[in-house]
Amino acid sequence: MKQSYFPQEIEKKWQKIWEESGAFKTSDDSEKPKYYALSMFPYPSGKLHMGHVRNYTITDVIARFKKAQGYNVLHPMGWDSFGLPAENAAMKHGADPETWTDENIAYMTKQLKMLGLSYDWDREVTTCKPDYYKWTQWLFLQLYKKGLAYKKEAAVNWCENCATVLANEQVIDGKCWRCDGEVEKKYLSQWFLKITDYADVLLKDLDKLKGWGDNVKIMQENWIGKSHGAIIKFKVKEIEGLEVPVYTTRPDTVYGITYLVVAPEYKDIEKLTTPENKAKVEEYRANARKMSEIERLSTDRVKTGVPLGTHCINPFNGEEFPLWTADYALVEYGTGAVMAVPTHDTRDFDFAKKYNLPMKVVIENPSNPSDCKNEAYTEPGILVNSGEFNGMKNDDAKKAITEKAVKEGYGEFKTQYRLRDWLISRQRYWGAPIPVVYCDKCGIVPVDEKDLPVMLPKDVDFSVVGKSPITTSKTFAQTTCPHCGGPARRETDTMDTFVCSSWYYLRYSDAKNSEKPFDRNLANKWLPVDQYVGGIEHAILHLLYSRFFTKALRDLGLLDFDEPFKNLLTQGMVLKDGSKMSKSKGNTVDPDEIFENYGADTARLFILSDSPPARDFDWSDAGVEGCYKFLNRVWRLVASNADDISLDYSLDYPLKKDNDDLVRIVHMAIKGITNDISNDFQFNTVISKYRELTNAIYDWQGKKTNPDNEDKNVLSFAVIALLKLMSPVAVHLTEEAWHELGAKGSIHDEAWLEWDENLAKASSITLVVQVNGKVKDKIEVDEGFSQDELKEVALNSPKIKELTEGKNIVKVIVVPKKLVNIVIK
């Protein structure tokens, strides 16, 4: 065995052998229990970055660990390969997005293989290929038939830079999630998926997801944004038969209404405007339209509005109050109209102050029944100035007042969600075409399933600006109606890429099926994903959409389960010098360089070593160096002792004291490492335990000048255990060493080691003796000592005797096998 470690040589050699022997193929038929380990698949942007390396290494180690524990593991990989960057690259370089994408996939595949990841490449899924997007389209049609996909004219988010619309989830701080460009509102007819039908179950089922972090669940909960309240309808005084309904979560404050606000886009706003106010209202509305999302949504902005001139009547007390329009009312939420109670709502308060609108206190602060001159009182209290409800607690009044409104016919209980339907139309080329046609006679007609896929056209001009390249095709749009056979027009919008990624995890279960998206039995067998690993940035987008898809497909009868991901690990970012690695900051580290200089095993070891997976990881060159040195140290340990190590060692008890100690250290390492992986995948402590074990073997060995047979057996036991424990991480080094020691099969087919509970502890224990809670002495004691014996040992220690001399011993607390605390006065 070579005395030096040459990772580049070893790694290439084994990658080739594993590939040729099909070492990582997964069989659908196995007696073993299944385990599905999945990383979020990447967008093929060109090259792997360290975030990918971290993500895939984590999942790979999990997959290998579970395989060693006796599971039949599914660990696939694929490409989320539709999307705008390919199209932008095409515009820039004149290449076809497909060519650009294929090249990137080829390069990144090579890199993934260099990392030594245990993927079953036979199940590779690529969303931009017709054999995949055919089924994306098919699934769209199923949703359409069920009424879960529909087209409507709506105010949508438009990114001028990307020349396309965006889903609500893709607008971050009023800007485009991808290009950071400002987002404006446009009125367009677009395709939506009815995710709001599932709002309640998406919220409720978060409780089922015991294996998800609370942070992600809370983010989804907030995004869905369920609230309970009431709809109350107000008659308009000036216009017979016209009502303005409002949604409120504070029906207890209805007696305090002093005005009512509708959004500038409110549907009846023109009817509600008197001729005298028309000019001003028109001007205000035009301004609101022009304003960008960011300006409009800024909470620091002073609220503005104009009166419409008409009035509403409060059905509870007959009071009249004016109608205004103001852009702090949102047309998309609730009814688009708000009842204003300045005394008990901070926004209404600001507005009323500015425009000198009246205020009326209806909830009294029990601890300070002062007025509401300086700020709104929004805490619980007792109703006043509220007719028959005076004296009631406001929480009770919510229900009582709504009940009155229901009984008298001008109100109802209402649950409201913040979640809006998912806008999936994109005015771009590089996506799955939405499979519908428009016929003058028949209207919207879905494409026949037998005619799928609707293929992307090739005759397009990517240099066009301001419209989708797909519209430049001479052949694509023109078609015939599947219904009447007459001339018809194809939909030229493509689907949001998040539609493609909402079901890819199902396709892996049956990646080559050409008859359907997946076989129901195979999907039911492999899913849900046992461990999903990916970035927190998908907490809402991808993870919410995928949950919705799974539930919808379950309701379509395609699946028997309704949550796709049983356990979710959201890994932290990879930082360098305290900030996120990015090209613009120039602090990126190229994985290729690391592979070349240190090998993949070093990269894998290091990326897992310093931080727990969920936390951010700070990349340091010195840290890489340290891991490389450690692997060298392990290699030398094996190489320099190769002659003394035998694969068929046997341990004959009783062992010499120092040998017994080392055997115990190994058992403790097996136990500790197994528990650390099982318990939230704490790989950083796993790796520190590799080092401890290695150090212990070196220490032990340093004392052996003339090893006898027993020593050699113990050494074999320890070194082989170290290799097996390290095999999920240092996949190449351990395999090479394993074979150098004479093994025939792969170390990756070996079963995970078991530990003996009796041996996984030191032969004696150190008793800590405290006086008044402070450590004063440590005494080696026999493990079997009773509590009384421990107490006696502690009290008889010379040090303790000295300290307790002449003092009154109030109490002695004995923690078995650990500690004695003596309380003195």
Partner RNA sequence: GCUCCAGUGGCGGAAUCGGUAGACGCGUUGGACUUAAAAUCCAAUUGGGUGAAUAGCUCAGUGCCAGUUCAAGUCUGGCCUGGAGCACCA
155-214 residues near RNA, rule: CB under 7 A: 172-173, 214
Q: Which of 73, 263, 372, 725 binds RNA (CB under 7 A)?
A: 263
- Residue placing its CB nearer to RNA in the complex, 247 or 462: 247
Largest Cα–Cα separation, the chain: 109
629 is a contact residue toward RNA (CB under 7 A): yes
- Residue closer to RNA (CB basis): 85 or 174: 174
* Residue 229 to residue 398: CA distance in whole angstroms: 8
Give the bridge partners for 34, in sequence order: 72
Quick one: which H or E segment has residue 446?
strand 443-446
Task: Identify whether the C-beta of residue 1 lies closer than 8 Å to the C-beta of residue 635.
Answer: no
Find the shortest distance in angstroms from Cβ 577 to RNA. 11
Q: Does residue 328 belong to the site contacting RNA (CB under 7 A)?
A: yes
- Which member of 400, 639, 781, 819 binds RNA (CB under 7 A)? 819
Is residue 823 at the binding interface for RNA, with CB under 7 A as the rule? yes
Stretch near RNA under the rule CB under 7 A, chosen from 180-188, 476-484, 560-568, 624-632 = 624-632
The CA-based angle 136-142-146, given to 5 degrees, is 145
Is residue 118 helix, strand or coil? coil
**CB 752 to RNA: min, Å:** 17
- One-letter amino acid at 303 equals K
Least Cβ distance, residue 816 to RNA (angstroms): 10
Residues 516-555 vs RNA: string with x where CB under 7 A? --------------------x--xx---------------
Residue 474 or residue 774: which is nearer to RNA going by CB?
774
Question: In terms of Cα–Cα distance, which of 759, 823, 769, 760 is closest to 791?
Answer: 769
Q: Which is nearer to RNA, 195 or 437 (CB)?
A: 195
Q: Is 70 left (phi over 0), alpha (psi -120 to 50) or beta?
A: left
Among residue numbers 583 through 612, which ones bind RNA (CB under 7 A)?
609-612
- Residue 822: count of CB within 10 angstroms of its CB: 23
Whole-number Å distance between alpha carbons of 665 and 652: 17
Asked if 218 touches RNA (CB under 7 A), the answer is yes
Rank residues 303 and 739 by Cβ distance to RNA and give the closer one.
303
Which 785-814 positions form the footprint of RNA (CB under 7 A)? 811, 813
The answer to whether 534 touches 212, Cβ cutoff 8 Å, is: no
State the minimum distance, in angstroms, from the CB of residue 208 to RNA: 19
What residues between 678 and 717 interact with RNA by CB under 7 A? 679, 682, 684-685, 687-688, 691-692, 695, 698-699, 702
Which CB sits closer to RNA, 370 or 766? 766
Question: Is 273 near RNA (CB under 7 A)?
Answer: no
Structure tokens at 517: 């998206």
Q: Are 119 and 129 in contact (CB under 8 A)?
A: no
Question: In the 8-state DSSP scheme, what is residue 616?
Answer: -
Nearer to RNA, 72 or 402 (CB): 402
**Strand, helix or coil for residue 170:** helix
- Assess contact for 44 and 89: CB atoms under 8 A: no
Contact indicator for 457, 476 with CB cutoff of 8 Å: yes
Which of 235, 303, 393, 483 contacts RNA by CB under 7 A?
303
Within residues 393-422, the interface with RNA by CB under 7 A covers: 416, 418
Please identify, using beta-carbon distances, which residue of 484 and 775 lies nearer to RNA. Answer: 775
Please, which residue, 435 or 613, has the CB nearer to RNA?
Answer: 613
Which CB, 432 or 624, lies closer to RNA?
A: 624
* Minimum distance from residue 12 beta carbon to RNA (Å): 23
By the rule CB under 7 A, 479 interacts with RNA: no
Three-class SS state of 822: strand
Q: Is 818 in the site for RNA (CB under 7 A)?
A: yes
- For RNA, what does the binding mask look like between residues 281 and 300, x meaning CB under 7 A? ---------------xxxx-
Tell the smallest beta-carbon distance from residue 168 to RNA (Å).
7
The size of the interface with RNA (CB under 7 A), counted in residues, is 89
Which contacts (CB < 8 Å, 24+ apart) does range 213-219 have? 213/568, 213/570, 213/614, 215/536, 215/539, 215/570, 216/536, 216/539, 216/543, 216/568, 216/570, 219/539, 219/540
Q: How far is Cα 430 from Cα 88, in angstroms, rounded to an integer?
A: 10
Return d(Cα 747, Cα 743) in angstroms, integer. Answer: 8
Residue (345 or 364) nearer to RNA, CB: 345
Question: Do residues 551 and 562 touch, judged by C-beta distance below 8 A?
Answer: yes
247 binds RNA (CB under 7 A): yes
Question: Cβ closer to RNA: 27 or 299?
Answer: 299
Q: What is the DSSP letter of 806?
A: T
Which residue in the set 205, 282, 618, 644 belongs to the binding site for RNA (CB under 7 A)? 618
Q: Map the footprint of RNA across residues 726-785, applying CB under 7 A.
A: 766, 768, 770, 772-776, 778
- Selected from 1, 188, 330, 753, the binder of RNA by CB under 7 A is 330
How far apart CA 481 and CA 488 sit, in angstroms, is 5
Sheet holding 774-782, edge to edge: 774-782, 764-771, 819-824, 809-815
CB of 473 to RNA, least distance (A): 36
Establish if 646 lies at the interface with RNA (CB under 7 A): no
Of positions 98, 103, 160, 625, contacts RNA by CB under 7 A: 625
Q: If you search the block for the tokens 């790796």, which residue do you land on?
A: 687
Cβ at position 342, least distance to RNA in Å: 11
Among candidate residues 565, 581, 553, the one with its CA nearest the CA of residue 528: 565
Indicate the residue among 83 and 229 with the shorter CB distance to RNA: 229
Q: Which is nearer to RNA, 739 or 817 (CB)?
A: 817
Choose the stretch contacting RNA; rule: CB under 7 A; options: 14-22, 178-186, 387-395, 816-824: 816-824
Which is nearer to RNA, 250 or 547 (by Cβ)? 250
Of 461 and 783, the one with the shorter C-beta distance to RNA is: 783
In the numeric block, which tokens belong to residue 80? Answer: 């989320």
How near is the Cβ of 141 to RNA at its closest, in Å?
31
Counting every residue written for the chain, the total comes to 825
Q: Which is nearer to RNA, 235 or 691 (CB)?
A: 691
Instruction: Give, as one character, the DSSP assignment of residue 560.
Output: S
Does residue number 154 form part of the binding site for RNA (CB under 7 A)? Answer: no
Long-range contacts of residues 588-596, Cβ cutoff 8 Å, at least 24 apart: 588/49, 588/50, 589/50, 589/619, 590/47, 591/47, 591/48, 591/49, 591/50, 591/52, 591/53, 591/111, 591/115, 592/47, 592/111, 592/114, 594/624, 595/11, 595/111, 595/114, 595/115, 596/8
Closer of 256 and 453 to RNA (Cβ): 256
Q: Residues 623, 660, 779, 804: which binds RNA (CB under 7 A)?
A: 623
Region near RNA per CB under 7 A, out of 83-91, 101-109, 183-191, 622-630: 622-630
Q: Cβ neighbours of residue 676 under 8 Å, at least 6 residues apart?
A: 682, 683, 685, 686, 689
Query: What is the footprint of RNA within residues 354-383 (CB under 7 A)?
Result: none
Q: How many CA atoms lie within 13 A of 447 on its CB side?
A: 23
Which residue is listed with tokens 């389960």?
A: 561
Nearest distance, CB of residue 575 and RNA, angstroms = 9
Task: Tokens 């002792």: give the residue.
Answer: 641
Binding test (CB under 7 A) with RNA, winner from 675, 709, 786, 787: 675
Residue 496 interacts with RNA (CB under 7 A): yes or no: no
